[in-house]
Structure 1
Amino acid sequence: MNVHSTSPAWPARGRRRTAAAVLAMAGLLTACSGSGTTSAGDAPNATLNWSMPNPSTWDPVTSQSGIDVTPLSLVYDSVTRLGRKGEAQPGVATSWAYSKDGRTLTFTLRKNLKFSDGSALDATAVKKSLERGKKQADSGIVGQLTTIASIDAPAPTTLVLHLNREDYALPLVLGGKTGMVVSPEAAGADAKKVATKPVGSGPYTLTSYTPDGQAVLKKNPDYWDAKDIHIDNVTLKFLGDPQAIVSSLRSGETQLASFISGTQVSALKKSGVDVDEFPSFQVSSVEVNAKLKPFDNPLFVRAINHAIDRKALVRILNGGHGEPAVQSFPEGYVAYDPASADLYPYDPAKAKSLLKQADYDGKPFPITWFTSPGGIDRRVEAELLQDQLKKVGIATTLEQIPVAQVSDKVYVKHQVGFFPSGVFGRESPAQLLSFANTPYGTYDQPALTAALKEAGKHPIDSAGYPQALRKVTAQTVRNGSNIMLFTSPWLYGRSKKLSELSPYINSPRLEGVRLSG
C-alpha cells in the first residue's frame, strides 16, 4: 500500500489538551498564512532578516547539532518531510510502501527534480547521498541508517531500501537531516566544501556565507513546492548575544528570531514585537556520562533527579514557558508515557536518603556549561542547579567550556560528566530514545535494547506502536543516565510585517509565510 502521510505523532484517540491545541492552532495558522500565488500585500523581492544560531556545518552528513535542522532545511529537501504534528509527509518522495515482511521499503520519487547546481536529483542521486551518510568516516547520521543493508535505484523515480530487520520508523527518520539529499556531484568533487557551500534542492540556495556573521539565501525557482514560497530572499543573522537579538527585533533590523528565551517574551510584546509559541520536541536536560564517577551509580543519578526543583527552573530560566518534565516528549505525543510523568517529584529528603544508599563520598564534580546563543541562559542554569544540589549535600564546581569545544569534548571524546544542555528532538521517537542514552550509557542496556527492538516491529500506523514506544520511554526514564528538566516550546520573536508561522513541531518552515512592505 502506498502511503502519503504516515503515523500521526499524536495518538488517534485519547488526545490530551496539548494535542488538541496543536491541531486547532495548525488549522488557524494555515488559514492565516495562506498559500498559492503572491498577494497584494507581499513585498516584491523582499528580504527576510532572520536571527538564529550559526549552524555547526552546512553538511547534514557531518552535522552534530540538532538545531542545525532549521538552517539546513532551507537549502536541502529530504526524502520525506515532517508535517506539523511530526507525521511523515511527501518530500523528494511522493509515496512509499513496505513489503509484507517489513524488510524492503520502496519509495516513489518526484519526476524531473534537480539540485541547485543543475544536476539531476533522481533515485541514483538519493542512493549515493544515503550511502555517503552510511560510509563517510565522519558521518554524524550513520547511526540512523544502520538498518539499511543495501540500496537499489532500478528506475529514476524508484528507490529501494533493503533492510537487515524491520524498521518501520524510516519514513520518519528520513524526514530530517538523515534524509536530506546532497548533490553527489558536489560531495564527490570535494565533500569538505559542502560544509560551507551546500548544494541541495530545497526552497533556497545559499549564495554567500560568513561564519559568525551571516548567510545570504535566494529563492530556488526549481524547488518542487516553490509556488508556496513567497519570500524571495533570506539573510540569516548569527547573533549570539540575547540582548542583541532583542534589539535587532525592536529596531526592525530583523523580522524573525529563533531561540529567544521565555524571560524575554514579556518585554518583546510590550515593545510591539509579536511572539509565537508552539509545542516542540525541545527539552532542557542534563547530559550525564554514566561511565564517569560518581554518575556510574544509578542511585546517585536518582538522587539528583529528586534534588532538582523543575518548577523553579521553568519559572526562572524560561519565564514560565514550558512544563517540568522527566521524559523527552511533550504530553500528548505518541511516545509520551503518562505512568512516568511524576516519577521524580522534587523531594530533598528522598534525595538525601538515596545519597546515603549510593555511598556518595562528598567530592565535588564540575557542572560544565557553555554560552548558548539565545534561549536559556546556561550560566544561570548552572548556578541554579549548583544551588539546588548543594541543599541536599552534593558539592559541585562550575566549569565553562568554549562552544567550539563542546562537540569534541562532550560528544566525541566523552570527557564531560554533567552537562546542562537540551534535547532538540529527532524525527523518529524511537531514534531519539536510542540516541538519548547511547552516548553516555544506560543502567540497563539489555532492557532498553529489547524494548527498542520490540517497538521497531510495529508499523508506525499500527495500534500496537504507541504502547510499544511508551515502554521504551518508561525504560529511559527509569534506567537512562540523562536527566530531563522541562519542555521548551518554540518561541519566535516576529515583526508584524511577517505573517504568522505554522506550528511545525520539529522546525519552523517558510512555506506559506509572507513578508509585507
Structure 2
Amino acid sequence: MSRSRTITALAAAGTALAMASISACGSSSGGGSGSGSSGGKGGVVLGTTDSVTALDPAGAYDHGSWEIILNVYQTLLTIPAGQTKPVPDAAKSCAFTNPSTYSCTLKSAQKFSNGDALTSKDVKFTFDRLAKINDPNGPASIFQGLKSTDAPSPTQVVFHLAAPDATFPQRLATGGGALVDAKVFPADKLLADAKVVGSGPYQVKSYTPKQIAQFTPNKDYGGSLKLANSQFVIQYFSEPSAMRQAVEQKKADIAYRTFSPTDINSLSKESAKGLKVYNSRGTEKRYLVLDSKKGPTAKKAVRQAIASLIDRNAIASNVWDGTVKPLYGMVGIGVEGHTDPFKQLYGATPSKAKATALLKTAGYSAAKPVPLALWYTPTHYGPTSVDEFTLIQRQLNASGLFKVSLHSTEWNQYQKDEKAGQYPAYEIGWFPDFPDADNDYAPFYSKDTFLYTGYNNPAVQKLIGVEQGTTDVAKRNAAFTAAEKLTAADAPIVPLWQGNLNAVANNTVSGVQQALDPQFFRFNLVSRSGK
C-alpha cells in the first residue's frame, strides 16, 4: 500500500475532545495545548505523525487510513498478528471451487456497529461499490482481477475471477476488503468520515481530521478478537518532536510512526524515565519512481544511469543510521521470491563510468547534464525524507552528469500530482498489503497500477499472471525472477531500502510488541495499567 503520513498537531481541547473525555496534549512545536492526555480508565492513547486519507475503505490506500480501517471493519478473512496465512474473520469458511471461483460462507449473527445485520448482500455491495467508485486514492487496484461477485443466499458469497489468482484469499484480508453496510454507504461515492460504521472490534466514537480519533468497543462485534482495553485514542502530531514530548511526559502511552533514527537511538536510552523502544520485523520500503513516458527520464539510458549512481549504502548509514537495509529488488528481503536484480545489473556500489557510458547514448554528458526535478513529500514518510532526497540529489549532481533540483509538497497534494504524472522523479513508500512477493511487485507493474510511472510492459504483465495463477513455489519464483530482470533493466522504479517497525511506549502499557505487526497496529492487544 502506498501508505503513509502528513499531519497537523493535536489542537487544543475543544468540543470534540470534551465529548471524548480526553485532555489534549501538545506543545508549542506541535500546535496543541492542554494539561495532559488520558484514554480514560483502561484506555490507551497512541501518538503518531501518520496521516489519514479517508475512513471509507473505498477511498483509502495508505497506512494511516488502514490503521483505523482494519480495526473498525471486518474482512472475510484476516491475517492474525505475527502470522502470514489468512484465517476466517466475518467468514465461517472460504475455498476455491475452481481456479477462478472463490466461495465464502458467512458466520451467523454478524452485525455492524449500528445493529444492521451483515449479510452476503453487504459483501457483494462492498466489492461492486469498490470497483464502481474506483477512487484514485482507493484500493480498487487490489481487486482488479475480480470479474463479478454473486450472493446466491444470505450467507453465501461467490467471487468470479478474470483469471486464476492464488493470492485472492490474502487480498480479501486487506483494508481493500473491509466490509461496509449497504444501508449506510452510498453505492457511487465515498461516505463522510463522521458517518462510517463497521462490524469490527471497535467503532469510531469521534474523529477530527489531523487532530484526534477515538474508538470504543463495538458491542455488536461478532468476531473472535478479545479487547484488552476499554477505548483507544489516536492523537495526531505534525512534528516528531511534539510526539516525543507527549510520550516522555506520559501524555501519550505509545508513540508510533514516525521517529527519526536519531530519535529511536536516543529514546532507547531513556529506560530510567519509564520508556521502552520496541522493534519488529519491518516490510516498509522506499522507492524512487521515474517517469518512463515523458521528459528526460523517458529515455531508458537516463533511468539506467540514475540506477547506476544511487548509493544505497550511504543512504542506509548516513541518513538512516543503519536502521534500514539497502534494497536491490522489488520483492522484499526475507520474502519468498526475493532477488537482487539491481545489484546484478548495476553493481552494489555507484559507477560513474557506467552512468557516463549510458548517458552518452542518450545525448547527455558532463558538458550537457540531465536536467531533473526530484520530488519528495516532507512529512508523510517522516522527517527523514528531506535528508534522504537531499542526499540523492547530491549523489546525482556529484557525478557531474545530472543537474537535479529538489522540490516537495505535502501528501494530500503530492498524491494527486503524482497520479497526474506531474513528477519526473519522485519518492514513494510501500507497506505490503499482505505477506507475499506478489504484493511487493504486482501493484507496481500490473496494467492498472496504483501509481503513475508511464511504464507498461505486456511481457511483465504476463509473468504476473503466471505467478498469480499457481501455488507452485518454484514456478512462482521463476516468474518473479524473470519479471524482476525485465523491470530492473528498464528501471522505471528504483528500490532504495527496506526498514523496520519501531514504537516507543511507557512502562504502564503492555502488549505493544504483539500489536506492532507489519499488517497494522492491533489496537485490541494493548492494555494500560495505572492512571
TM range (shorter): 0.7 to 0.9
SS of 1:218's partner is: strand
1:377 paired with 2:373, answer no
Match of 2:244 in 1: 246
Q: Which stretch has the larger CA shift, 51-60 or 80-89?
A: 80-89
- 2:479 counterpart (468, 471, 478): 468
TM-aligned CA distance change 1:440 to 1:408, over 3 Å: closer
TM-aligned CA distance change 1:190 to 1:238, over 3 Å: farther
Match of 1:280 in 2: 282
Aligned residue identity for 1:352: T
SS of 2:195's partner is: coil
Aligned residue identity for 2:149: I
1:121–1:183 contact (8 Å) kept in structure 2: yes
Q: Which stretch has the larger CA shift, 155-164 or 367-376?
A: 367-376
Q: CA deviation at 1:252?
A: 1.0
SS of 1:501's partner is: helix
Q: CA deviation at 1:118?
A: 0.9
What number of residue pairs does the alignment pair up? 472
SS of 1:237's partner is: strand
Match of 2:356 in 1: 352
Match of 2:209 in 1: 211
1:263 paired with 2:262, answer yes
In structure 2, stretches of 5+ residues that fail to align are 1-38
Matched residues in 1 for 2:293 and 2:341: separation? 28
1:367–1:397 contact (8 Å) kept in structure 2: yes
1:424 paired with 2:431, answer yes
1:316 paired with 2:318, answer yes
1:62 paired with 2:48, answer no
Q: Which stretch has the larger CA shift, 399-408 or 64-73?
A: 64-73
Aligned residue identity for 1:46: G
How do residues 41-440 of structure 1 correspond to structure 2 at under 5 angstroms? 45-52=41-48, 53-83=50-80, 84-100=82-98, 102-138=99-135, 140-188=138-186, 191-225=189-223, 228-259=226-257, 260-272=259-271, 273-337=275-339, 342-344=344-346, 345-349=348-352, 350-360=354-364, 361-373=368-380, 375-393=382-400, 394-411=402-419, 413-427=420-434, 429-437=437-445, 438=449, 439-440=451-452
1:241–1:374 contact (8 Å) kept in structure 2: no
Matched residues in 1 for 2:444 and 2:187: separation? 34
Q: Which stretch has the larger CA shift, 483-492 or 343-352?
A: 343-352
Matched residues in 2 for 1:55 and 1:410: separation? 18
SS of 1:188's partner is: coil
Aligned residue identity for 1:410: E
Q: CA deviation at 1:320?
A: 1.0
Aligned residue identity for 2:220: D
1:206–1:218 contact (8 Å) kept in structure 2: yes
Aligned residue identity for 2:438: A
2:46–2:254 contact (8 Å) kept in structure 1: yes
Aligned residue identity for 2:108: K
Name the TM-score, length of structure 1 as normaliser. 0.85
SS of 1:114's partner is: coil
Q: Deviations over 1:170-224 (max 9, x none)?
A: 1111111211111111103895434343211112111111111111111223323
1:173–1:431 contact (8 Å) kept in structure 2: no
Name the TM-score, length of structure 2 as normaliser. 0.83
TM-aligned CA distance change 1:470 to 1:225, over 3 Å: farther
Match of 2:498 in 1: 487
TM-aligned CA distance change 1:280 to 1:89, over 3 Å: farther
Match of 1:498 in 2: 509
Cα RMSD of the aligned pairs, angstroms, is 2.4
Q: CA deviation at 1:480?
A: 4.2
Q: CA deviation at 1:267?
A: 0.9
TM-aligned CA distance change 1:367 to 1:44, over 3 Å: closer
2:129–2:188 contact (8 Å) kept in structure 1: no
In structure 1, stretches of 5+ residues that fail to align are 1-42
Matched residues in 1 for 2:477 and 2:155: separation? 32
Q: CA deviation at 1:471?
A: 3.5
Matched residues in 2 for 1:291 and 1:54: separation? 30
Matched residues in 1 for 2:463 and 2:86: separation? 23
TM-aligned CA distance change 1:106 to 1:311, over 3 Å: same
1:313–1:381 contact (8 Å) kept in structure 2: yes
Aligned residue identity for 2:466: E
Aligned residue identity for 1:268: L
Q: Which stretch has the larger CA shift, 251-260 or 185-194?
A: 185-194
Q: CA deviation at 1:390?
A: 0.9
2:421–2:453 contact (8 Å) kept in structure 1: no
The share of aligned pairs that are identical, in percent, is: 23
Q: Deviations over 1:275-295 (max 9, x none)?
A: 222222211111222122211
2:331–2:441 contact (8 Å) kept in structure 1: no
SS of 2:392's partner is: helix
2:46–2:252 contact (8 Å) kept in structure 1: yes
1:288–1:440 contact (8 Å) kept in structure 2: no
Aligned residue identity for 1:49: V
Match of 2:33 in 1: none
TM-aligned CA distance change 1:373 to 1:145, over 3 Å: closer
Q: Deviations over 1:468-516 (max 9, x none)?
A: 3444344333334111111011111222222232253322213433222
Matched residues in 1 for 2:317 and 2:180: separation? 42
Matched residues in 1 for 2:484 and 2:294: separation? 24
Matched residues in 1 for 2:341 and 2:292: separation? 24
1:501–1:509 contact (8 Å) kept in structure 2: no
SS of 1:382's partner is: helix
